[in-house]
């Protein structure tokens, strides 16, 4: 059984790539399973992958490294449930130090599934800003975690490359190769079948890195504490296209200049589903590109990660939802706890 660990910052496109890779592999007769991971418990990613008919388990309430026993239990559960040939394990986007706290323990402490690869995804636009020396929208500690994620990659995937023009693509790849000369690097569009095929081929033929980071856990913990998590599960009544679009638009507008790690919504009913994502660098034409949305009684999952106060973030979204007909609502807002890995194996 192959285990491919996929990391990278919030909004880098990990879930989309995993779904497309799973579809590609299943079309070849492979059995595929996915493990998702998050600090929260109402996960858009899990529901979205399940809607694609891919067997999925999740580790919630913290990162893989702080929930190592849950990680191994869920790997065993997925193996028993689906007997996969290949598992993709997607770490939460605020997590770093995965080699020391996940990859090496799985290798060295004994596990039925040992890592075959470790990819780190980066949004091409955010990575380009950093490579050319432009400021990133987050505080220094969060930027530090973003860079440390890149440093420990076995395979660095510059994702959403299609959102850069040709010259910017080439320049970004060249800068990344100069900065990370020892790494395998892919320029990828995860909605393109050929890009996914090349990524999968790299995964199958590659090996997972075993060199641990020299990570400053004080800065790492402070970065986690500066990020707010908001998760909501709603049942909305009497929805129609215009009204649902307006709700999504109003939440996005209300965020204003708050630095967003990722804001994603999944809406569905028996007839239709749609996922809407707003990463750190949003498409200016996002309203034009909204998919056709379900109508009538609609279930909604909302995950929002931003650098702000968690209570203020919750109040902001609740104000937008005032007057919206809702049958049931579950809300959870918090700041992640200080990272305390179960194991940390370093050189």
The CATH number for 101's domain is 3.40.50.300
Helix (H) / strand (E) element for 86: namely: strand 86-90
Domain end marker among 185, 207, 222: 222
Q: What is the pLDDT of residue 281?
A: 86
Pair (256, 211) in one structural domain: no
Q: Where does a domain end: 170, 205, 222?
A: 222
pTM: 0.96
Residues 184 and 290 in one domain: no
* Final residue in a domain of this structure, among 206, 222, 238: 222
Query: Closest Cα to residue 238, out of 297, 292, 294, 293?
Result: 297
Has residue 339 been placed in a domain?
no
pLDDT at 287 over 80: no
pLDDT tens string 310-338: 999 999 999 999 999 998 889 999 999 99
Give the model's confidence band at 150: pLDDT under 50 very low, under 70 low, under 90 confident, else very high: very high
How does pLDDT run across 84-113, given as a tens digit for each residue?
999 999 999 999 999 999 999 999 998 778
Q: 206 with 138, same domain?
A: yes
Specify whether 94 is located in the same domain as 166.
yes
CB of 89 closer than 8 Å to CB of 67: no
State the Cα–Cα distance between residues 133 and 341, nearest whole angstrom: 32
What number of other Cβ atoms are within 10 A of residue 162's Cβ?
Answer: 15
Same domain, 173 and 50: yes
Q: Are residues 106 and 183 in the same domain?
A: yes
pLDDT per position as a tens digit, 215-237: 999 999 999 999 999 999 999 99
Quick check: is 244 in a domain? Answer: yes
d(CA 118, CA 122) in angstroms, rounded, equals: 13
CB atoms within 10 A of CB 315: 11
**Interval 12-34: pLDDT, tens:** 999 999 999 999 999 999 999 99
242 and 179 in a single domain? The answer is no
Would you say residue 9 lies in a domain?
yes
Residue 18 lies in a domain: yes
* Same-domain pairing of 20 and 125: yes
pLDDT digits (tens, 9 = 90+) for 234-264: 999 999 888 999 999 999 999 999 999 999 9
Percent of the chain whose pLDDT exceeds 70: 99
Residue 341 lies in a domain: no
| 217 and 252 assigned to the same domain | no
Domain at 249, CATH number: 3.30.70.1150
Residues contacting 52, CB < 8 A, separation 6+: 19, 22, 23
- Give a yes or no: residue 139 inside a domain: yes
Q: What Å distances lie between residue 200 and 1, 208, 226, CA to CA?
A: 15, 14, 35
The CA-CA-CA angle for residues 39, 216, 154, to 5°, reads 70
Question: Rounded to 10 degrees, what is the CA torsion of 60, 65, 71, 72?
Answer: -160
CB 322 within 8 A of CB 254: no
Q: Do residue 193 and residue 319 come from a single domain? A: no
For residue 231, give its domain range. 224-334
Q: Which residues pair with 301 in a beta bridge?
A: 233, 266
Is the same domain home to 47 and 160? yes
* Residue 77 resides in a domain: yes
With a pLDDT cut of 90, the percent of the chain lying above it is 86
Total number of domains constituting the chain: 2
Neighbouring residues of 239: CB distance < 8 A, sequence distance ≥ 6: 293, 294, 295, 296, 297, 298
Specify if 342 maps to a domain.
Answer: no
Note the Cα 263 to chain centre separation in Å. 11
**Are 57 and 91 within one domain?**
yes
């Amino acid at each position: 059984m192959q285990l491919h660990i996929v990391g990278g910052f919030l909004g880098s496109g990990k879930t989309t790539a995993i779904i497309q890779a799973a579809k590609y592999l299943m079309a070849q007769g492979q059995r595929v399973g996915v493990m998702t991971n998050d600090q929260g418990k109402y996960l858009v990613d899990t529901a979205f992958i399940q809607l694609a008919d891919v067997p999925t388990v999740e580790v919630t309430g913290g990162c893989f490294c702080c929930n190592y026993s849950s990680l191994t239990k869920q790997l065993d559960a997925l193996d028993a449930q689906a007997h996969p040939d290949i598992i993709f394990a997607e770490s939460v986007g605020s997590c770093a130090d995965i080699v020391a706290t996940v990859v090496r323990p799985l290798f060295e402490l004994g596990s039925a599934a040992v890592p075959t690869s470790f990819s780190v995804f980066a949004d091409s636009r955010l990575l380009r800003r950093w490579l050319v020396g432009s400021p990133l929208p987050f505080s220094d500690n969060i930027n530090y975690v973003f860079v440390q994620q890149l440093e420990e990659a076995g395979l660095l995937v510059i994702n959403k490359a299609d959102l850069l023009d040709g010259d910017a693509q080439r320049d970004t790849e060249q800068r990344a190769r100069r900065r990370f000369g020892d790494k395998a690097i892919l320029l990828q569009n995860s909605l393109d079948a050929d890009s996914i095929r090349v990524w999968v081929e790299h995964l199958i033929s590659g090996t997972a890195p075993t060199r641990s980071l020299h990570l400053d856990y004080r800065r790492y913990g402070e970065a986690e504490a500066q990020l707010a998590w908001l998760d909501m599960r709603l049942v909305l009544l009497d929805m129609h296209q215009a009204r649902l679009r307006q709700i999504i638009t109003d939440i996005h507008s209300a965020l204003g200049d708050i630095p967003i790690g990722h804001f994603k919504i999944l809406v569905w009913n028996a007839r239709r589903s749609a996922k809407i994502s707003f990463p750190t660098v949003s498409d200016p034409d996002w309203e034009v590109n909204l998919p056709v949305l379900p109508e009538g009684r609609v279930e909604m999952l909302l995950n929002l990660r931003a650098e702000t106060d968690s209570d203020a973030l919750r109040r902001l979204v609740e104000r937008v939802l005032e007057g919206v007909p809702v049958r049931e609502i579950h809300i959870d807002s918090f700041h992640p706890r200080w990272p305390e890995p179960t194991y940390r194996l370093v050189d």
